[in-house]
Amino acid sequence: MSRDRLDDRTVDALATIARQAPVPPITDARRDAQIARAIAEAEDRAVLETPRARSRTPYVAWAIAAAALVALAFVTMRDAPTADVGEGVLVLATGDRVTTAPHAALALDEVSPESRRISVHAGEALFDVRPLEPNESFVVRTPELEVTVRGTVFSVERVGDRTVVRVYEGRVDVRERGELVSITPGETYRSGEGRARDAQEGALAAIGRAAAAAREPVAARTPIAEPAPIAEPAPTAEPTSVPEPTPIPEPAPVAARRTTIEPEPTPAIEPAPTPPAPSLAEIQSLVASRRFAQALDAARAARAHAPTEWRFGMLEAHALQGLGRAAEAADAYDALARTAPSAQRAEAAFRAATLRWRELADARGAVTSLDAVDFAQSALEERALGLRARALDAAGDRTAARDAARAYLARYPEGGLADVMQALVAP
């Protein structure tokens, strides 16, 4: 079975699970568990066989990652009307791109070819909206105001009970309490205050400017002014007689002397200024636009300036994965599983294990990556338990595989992999 077919089935299964998910309200812990379970079920309904080594292209690798991100976002938003989608990029089926800052809370109220309606409840989101047809609409709402666009790049940020709208390209119409105001690039609208020039940039400003630059039309030509006429020269006056100059006496002879020429000092060469390190937002923009080679260089340059900043390391690993360099990416994720903050170690370890299991056909390596982190109380716990059992079985360690399968069933007796685990436990 090809990976492309596998991912079609994975996405289809995710859609089915999302439609069958319980209706909110639910707790954050249960929501996280359902997300992890939905993805696990989708993947394992699609394939149960031992992975084989496959040739991969960077494009296919990115397509799989993007499909998983979109599916996860929709499952999250299905489970909770207001979902904390965190930091990432969501590409709608209509081609519009939504980039979210950390802890952004959004709701997709409607997504159809004719109408897109999105609510921002907290945090910041950047919208790169393609030019709309006359019968289409794109509206972003917050409790304070409503933003309508025809195809532009803008961001909406909500902090407390205030909303800030920033425009990077095109024009947006902001309606607050019945009053309509048009905002153009470089301008900002603040709820309760109106239009302003914003001195404080949002977290997604660099991505907004990059998106605007990519869409910027060719500037209109400036007409060349007609040359000014050349004035006629004034008539020349008749010359007047000039008296003869008084002759200057010859100077007395001077004895010749030798002149020593001092060499000029060699100017000191100033060292070239060190370029500033790429920012986190700039590297995220490169990854989001699939410019993985540039993202890799930028992430490594940023890590040289800030070696303890784990997020640069995570972006480096993402870029390596996007380039199809699975072994290097897995090693980078393993390193993060040892050095990143505790909340991110589980994600890094699971990414490393998944790459070794699926892309490198290294079942024993996948187990080693999983064993580096304690997944208890993590949203990835169920998936990690299931992957560990299958990897042990693929590595030929049947006894350990049965023990791992029993641990899964004790923790998740009705989990998405329960049937697979029952088969491993069976004699």
pLDDT for position 242: 52
pLDDT for position 19: 45
Tokens of 17: 């699970």
Q: Which residue has the higher pLDDT, 82 or 157?
A: 157
Q: Is the pLDDT of residue 22 over 60?
A: no
Sign of CA dihedral 90, 217, 166, 205: positive
Percent of the chain scoring above 70 in pLDDT: 65
Q: Is the pLDDT of residue 15 over 90?
A: no
pLDDT tens, position by position, 222-273: 344 444 555 555 555 555 555 566 666 665 665 555 556 666 666 666 666 6
pLDDT for position 377: 75
Q: SS in 3 state form for the chain? A: CCHHHHHHHHHHHHHHHHHHCCCCCCCHHHHHHHHHHHHHHHHHHHCCCCCCCCCCCHHHHHHHHHHHHHHHHHHHHHHCCCEECCCEEEECCCCCEEEECCCCEEEEEEECCCEEEEEEEEEEEEEECCCCCCCCEEEEECCCCEEEECCCEEEEEEECCEEEEEEEECCEEEEECCEEEEECCCEEEECCCEEEECCCCCCCHHHHHHHHHHHCCCCCCCCCCCCCCCCCCCCCCCCCCCCCCCCCCCCCCCCCCCCCCCCCCCCCCCCCCCCCCCCHHHHHHHHHCCCHHHHHHHHHHHHHHCCCCHHHHHHHHHHHHHCCCHHHHHHHHHHHHHHCCHHHHHHHHHHHHHHHHHCCCCHHHHHHHHHCCCCCCCCCHHHHHHHHHHHHHHCCCHHHHHHHHHHHHHHCCCCCCHHHHHHHHCC
- Closest by alpha carbon to 412, among 374, 390, 380? 380
Q: Pairing mode, if any, of strands 83-84 and 88-91? A: unpaired
User: How far, in Å, CA of 280 to CA of 207, rounded?
Assistant: 10
User: How far, in Å, CA of 46 to CA of 305, rounded?
Assistant: 43
Mean pLDDT rounded to a whole number for the chain: 75
Q: Is the pLDDT of residue 330 over 60?
A: yes
pLDDT for position 233: 52
- Closest by alpha carbon to 186, among 157, 163, 162, 208? 208
User: How far, in Å, CA of 318 to CA of 398, rounded?
Assistant: 33
pLDDT for position 47: 41
Q: Residue written as tokens 């949002």?
A: 202
Cis, bond preceding 249 (omega within 30 deg of 0)? no
pLDDT tens, position by position, 168-225: 998 999 999 999 999 988 899 999 988 887 656 778 888 888 888 776 553 333 344 4
Q: Is the pLDDT of residue 407 over 50?
A: yes
Structure confidence at residue 371 as a pLDDT band (50, 70, 90): very high
Alpha carbon dihedral 163, 169, 170, 176, in 10-degree steps, equals: 10
pLDDT for position 249: 62
Tokens of 132: 């709309």
Q: Which of 47-61, 75-89, 344-358 comes out lowest in average pLDDT?
A: 47-61
User: How far, in Å, CA of 120 to CA of 415, rounded?
Assistant: 33
134 with 113: CB under 8 angstroms? no
pLDDT for position 396: 92
pLDDT tens, position by position, 276-318: 888 888 888 888 878 889 999 999 999 898 888 888 999 999 9
pLDDT for position 341: 86
pLDDT for position 3: 39
pLDDT for position 104: 84
pLDDT for position 262: 65
User: How far, in Å, CA of 418 to CA of 406, rounded?
Assistant: 10
User: How far, in Å, CA of 5 to CA of 60, rounded?
Assistant: 12
Q: Is the pLDDT of residue 86 over 70?
A: no
Amino acid at 198: D
User: How far, in Å, CA of 13 to CA of 220, rounded?
Assistant: 50
Residue 335 burial (10 A CB sphere; 0-12, 13-18, 19+): middle
pLDDT for position 270: 66
pLDDT for position 253: 60
How many CA atoms lie within 13 Å of 48's alpha carbon, on the beta-carbon side? 10
Mean pLDDT of 18-29: 46
Q: Residue written as tokens 């000092």?
A: 265
Tokens of 348: 């890094």
pLDDT tens, position by position, 89-127: 788 878 888 998 877 888 888 888 889 999 999 899 999
283 with 312: CB under 8 angstroms? yes
Q: Which of 263-272, 388-397, 408-417 comes out lowest in average pLDDT?
A: 263-272
